[in-house]
Chains A and B, each alone.
Chain A
Amino acid sequence: MLDFGRVQKELQECNKDINLSGISVNPKFDNLINLIGSIPGPVATPYEGGTFKIDIDLPDAYPFEPPRMKFATKVWHPNISSQSGAICLDILKDQWSPALTLKTALLSIQALLSAPEPDDPQDAVVAQQYLKDYQTFASTARYWTESFAKTSSLGVDEKVQKLVEMGFPEDLVRKTLGAVGGDENLALEKLCSA
């Protein structure tokens, strides 16, 4: 049985110092099993300026089993699948401990963005590029950040309008936008794949 009391406390704790860390976790729908995390791209990296959404699913045995996390925002990084968003990080696997929290896990992911480990890659193509042609890697990563990780300054209604103009029904657009935390790019992707 999932320890909802703990999850509740974690969300409160994490969102308390959101101004300081920039890291937040919120329910994706109306439950505490499917969550969405948000981390700012670290400064002085190709991810700077981006906001990265992380899909979080909590298994029943949480906190004894690790939270299942993957990038919802597309990202170009040796340890993150450019296709699926899967993350290669020890603490999300066998090095998980109940002493860790959703916030510390997100902090570790943020640290991974700063310090890729191309020798233990999740995405072999990106890792090869990182090792052999760092310049191209950095500019690709920056381009992906610009394209996928920057939420525009549009208000909710403007986003809705934009997506409705593309031909999606309004109630579905609002629901989808809500589910991805207001990110229009993610919403578009979801709507297209639905």
Chain B
Amino acid sequence: MSAAEITSQEYIKHHLTNLSVGEGFMTIHLDTLGWSVFLGLVFIMLFRSVAKKASTGVPGKLQCAVEMVVEFVDDSVKSTFHGNNPVIAPLALTIFVWVLLMNAMDWVPVDLIPRIFELFGVHYMKAVPTTDPNMTFALALGVFALIIYYSIKVKGIGGFIKELTTQPFGHWSLYPVNFILEMVTLLARPLSLALRLFGNLYAGELIFLLIATIGLFQLPVHFLWAAFHLLVIPLQAFIFMMLTILYLSLAHEDH
């Protein structure tokens, strides 16, 4: 950091500004999009390379590691989702690994990537995509669309509307109240998914930035906070995946 030139407030604000093009709603955060697609490609390439060579014989070390992740996701899906749906497990795997990789960018020292890009004349660079609500809401809306799609597919439009109106109160005069309650429940799902991930990672990043402003003492504190993120980063990825599976399994349940 360069406290001599700018105040810590300006420093933090600078680090929390996205590299963007466009105005208003048409703005695109190039850094969020770029890093997330890059990390998504890392996931896809890595797993695809293993999938191409996957054999039933003695697996190599990389294959073992990838298979461990796949089996972990598969077990999580099987323990929660009892239907037969070929989308759920790959979706859960993509969410888990992608979110994990994006969260893991939090471990990269906060100044490293911005400084490197500054050498090339890029002045804003926010390298953790999950600290951008656009990223987390995109994931949550994708899941939400699948919730709606499977609810209607499994229960039919009538069944879905019935589910939204006839409970928890059985009497017809209370159906509007039921509908309001159920809509809140339904909408709270993507909202909580997106905000939980965003909030955790944004707060973590913010603390990293605060630590970076306290001078020489930042080294042990920084280490402690990064060590704490050993818990936060996989946990948030896991929670996002588990809740996705859970919500989709609820969408498949016919009352």
Chains A and B are bound partners? no
Chain A positions within 8 Å of B, measured between CB atoms, are: none
